[in-house]
Chains A and B, each alone.
Chain A
Amino acid sequence: MEGFAIFFAGVDIGSTMTKVVILDKDRGIRARVIGPTGAEHRRLANRVMEEALKKAALSFDEISYVVATGYGRINVPFADRQITELSCHAKGVASFFPNVRTALDIGGQDAKGLKIRNGELVDFVMNDKCAAGTGRFLEVLADTLGLRVEELGSISAKSKNRVRISNTCTVFVQVEVVTRLSEGVPLEDIVAGVHDAIASRAVNMLRRLKIEPDVVFTGGVAKNIGVVKAVKEHLGYDVLVPEEPLLSGAIGAALIGQELTLKAMAKGESLPRKERRLEEASFFS
């Protein structure tokens, strides 16, 4: 079929951010959209897809396969398939770093550890019960310290004597941090301590998978150079961070879509797909 199997879309609706990626058949990124998920994500999916199509200068019909992932994946009515973010992240991360065997993803409200062999997910561990090991922890602490989340990394780089945070609960860490501030502890040392705390939690979770290099770190929190440094220290391994740490899920989703399509084509089978129509998700769709 002419013009078929050329473009693939991955839609990753995370608890904090929604990411859409359109890939071409050579895995080049034709378009990317990243935006906050918010409470309206049921209606968000088609708007974000429209934006991506506009950026890609493509019509929806030209997309061969759409895979939705992330915790909001059930709210993407136009997705041809829904696949968990665990499988999609593994695929995405392996496409950036083919030798990856362990991946850590820290998002807005959860943290995941992935064990990957030959580019495929073989085991996983998740934390989605406690804010303390997630991006939310950094948001809350930044707010408490009167800083923006984006500044945390560069500020912690100045630290000479990192503080040791004793509490494990986000709320109690806030109190501890304010106490330290009032004691006159330098801001950069406190921020470095906060980074150390989140890294420690993340690595402890990861240890349940028996860590092996190459280790890759993704998710919004991977953009924070202070956390990356702390994770390396706790792991004892070097840690690879992709250029676009937020996109591994969406890219992985699109890649799985490509794989499924090519497999079906090789077998001469047709792959069931949804109608190429962008509509608001209604509660009964």
Chain B
Amino acid sequence: MEEKGKGLARAIEIYKDRPRRAKELKAEGKQIIGYFCLYPVLEMMTALDLVPYRILGDMGEPITKADACLPTIVCPFIRSALDLGLKGKYDFLDGLAMCHSCEVGEKSAHIWRTYLNPTYFHFIDTPHTVHKAAQGQFKEQLKDFKKTLEKFTGKELSVAKLKEAIKAHNEQRALVRELYDLRKLDPPLISGTETIQVMVASVSIPVKEGSDLLRQVIRDVKERKNGPQKKRARLLIWGSIIDNVALIEMIESAGANVAMDDICVGSRAYFADVKLTKDPLDGLAYRYLVDIKCPRTFREATYGETQKDYLADLEGRFGYLKDYAREWNVNGVILQSLRYCDIHGYEVPGLRDYLNHVGLPNTYIEWNYSEAALAPLRTRVEAFLEVNG
């Protein structure tokens, strides 16, 4: 077992037992709010001294209870998360902040409320587009979120506190970007597998602790001598949520370095800062709705435009990936989606056309949120690496 630095070791510790720190904080009198997806505004919770805790699934836990409340065509991640909730694994949460992530996320939020009956529950109806009107709508949603948070905590969510929280979260985002910069090197100083462990750890602890962890991890990976090995293939992984190392571990062991990602546990949550606006809710609404690059948010339609040139449309939707590929020196892209993830599944044909157009080799795998089912996917990854030499 190789020696990991203090930061990486701590990240792995948290990754393996996520609720532990949250439960410790709860015992000290803190309140923990579980949230789904990226739209429940973290700063608003942090400002009121609540600890936001991202709700994730558990690939190792067989789904038994969730099947009774969900239809077949529900992605295994949402299914797993609900299953854990129904089994009481999230009972340490003091409340839930859900959002309209995708159709399934939205519908299952109501199931969480009904079956788990939390003390505090808020649903943010996140718009699916980025027009000015949608931004305005989202700001109204955040005003509602502010009201229920204030009622729950009995405290005022002042502009001053909110600005402080925005600074703290922006600081963490900058640290993540600093860590990601170290993946631009060849070989990357931190592997794709380790990155997932660190990212999952950061969404399980308060923002300042997360920032401290990231600083330590950055020190560790710069100092260590036994980092990732150089490999011909430097891949970007795009798609559905990845909250477990198994998939990326499989890809890296097949002979590649996953040097960059476009997933919500990774870059999507950290690559844009919140602009400090006079009314902080404006900056928050913009950053959360417009700057988070998840395909659940549609960017195709522009007012007044009734026709769209296909390539121009693809460039508008996916152009940022070309920049990522260039900056992180990526020579292949793995598109992945969870079974039944429409949000990402529907993007695949267009995205593949775009990547082929810009000359980036790519392949698509659909996976089942199960370690056992990874073996056939390994063949696809190996064949992709063989094809692209």
Could you list which residues of chain A lie within 8 angstroms of chain B, going by C-beta atoms?
A: 71, 83-87, 110, 120-124, 126, 128
Interface 1/0 per residue, B339-372 and A, CB below 8 Å: 0000000000000000000000000000000000
In the assembled complex, B23 has its CB within 8 A of some CB on chain A:
no
Taking a contact as CB atoms under 8 Å apart, the answer to whether B376 and A128 are in contact is yes
Complex CA distance for A126 and B364, rounded to whole angstroms: 11
Taking a contact as CB atoms under 8 Å apart, the answer to whether B376 and A84 are in contact is no
In the assembled complex, B150 has its CB within 8 A of some CB on chain A:
no
Within 8 Å by CB of B382, from A84, A122, A123, A128, lies: A84
Complex CA distance for A122 and B382, rounded to whole angstroms: 13
Could you list which residues of chain B lie within 8 angstroms of chain A, going by C-beta atoms?
A: 375-376, 379-380, 382-383, 386-387
Q: List 29 A-B contacts (CB under 8 A).
A: A71-B375, A71-B376, A71-B379, A83-B386, A84-B382, A84-B383, A84-B386, A85-B379, A86-B379, A86-B383, A86-B386, A86-B387, A87-B383, A87-B386, A87-B387, A110-B376, A120-B387, A121-B383, A121-B386, A121-B387, A122-B387, A123-B387, A124-B380, A124-B383, A124-B387, A126-B376, A126-B379, A126-B380, A128-B376
| B307 shortest CB reach to chain A, Å | 26
Chain B residues with Cβ below 8 Å from A84 are 379, 382-383, 386
Q: How many A-B residue pairs have CB under 8 A?
A: 30
Complex CA distance for A122 and B386, rounded to whole angstroms: 9
10 pairs of A and B residues whose beta carbons are closest in the complex: A86-B383, A84-B383, A87-B386, A84-B382, A128-B376, A84-B379, A121-B387, A124-B383, A84-B386, A87-B383
| A12 shortest CB reach to chain B, Å | 13
| A132 shortest CB reach to chain B, Å | 16
| A129 shortest CB reach to chain B, Å | 8
Chain B residues with Cβ below 8 Å from A83 are 386
Closest to A120 in B: B387
Complex CA distance for A84 and B380, rounded to whole angstroms: 8
Complex CA distance for A120 and B376, rounded to whole angstroms: 22
Chain A residues with Cβ below 8 Å from B387 are 86-87, 120-124
Chain B residues with Cβ below 8 Å from A71 are 375-376, 379
Closest to B387 in A: A121
Residue among A84, A86, A123, A124 with the highest chain B CB neighbour number at 10 A: A84
Complex CA distance for A86 and B386, rounded to whole angstroms: 9
Complex CA distance for A189 and B343, rounded to whole angstroms: 42
Complex CA distance for A123 and B380, rounded to whole angstroms: 10
| B207 shortest CB reach to chain A, Å | 41
Complex CA distance for A85 and B383, rounded to whole angstroms: 8
Complex CA distance for A86 and B383, rounded to whole angstroms: 6
Chain B residues with Cβ below 8 Å from A124 are 380, 383, 387
Closest to A128 in B: B376
Residue among B375, B376, B379, B380 with the highest chain A CB neighbour number at 10 A: B379
Closest to A73 in B: B379
| B256 shortest CB reach to chain A, Å | 14
Chain B residues with Cβ below 8 Å from A128 are 376
| A271 shortest CB reach to chain B, Å | 17
Complex CA distance for A87 and B387, rounded to whole angstroms: 7
Closest to B366 in A: A129
| B282 shortest CB reach to chain A, Å | 45
| A93 shortest CB reach to chain B, Å | 15
Chain B residues with Cβ below 8 Å from A123 are 387
| A106 shortest CB reach to chain B, Å | 16
| B104 shortest CB reach to chain A, Å | 20
Complex CA distance for A128 and B382, rounded to whole angstroms: 16
| B204 shortest CB reach to chain A, Å | 33
Complex CA distance for A110 and B382, rounded to whole angstroms: 17
Closest to B349 in A: A208
Closest to B380 in A: A126
Residue among B380, B382, B383, B386 with the highest chain A CB neighbour number at 10 A: B383
Closest to A87 in B: B386
Complex CA distance for A126 and B375, rounded to whole angstroms: 13
Complex CA distance for A33 and B382, rounded to whole angstroms: 26
| A278 shortest CB reach to chain B, Å | 25
Complex CA distance for A176 and B375, rounded to whole angstroms: 33
Chain A residues with Cβ below 8 Å from B376 are 71, 110, 126, 128
Complex CA distance for A81 and B387, rounded to whole angstroms: 16
Chain A residues with Cβ below 8 Å from B382 are 84
| B34 shortest CB reach to chain A, Å | 33
Chain B residues with Cβ below 8 Å from A120 are 387
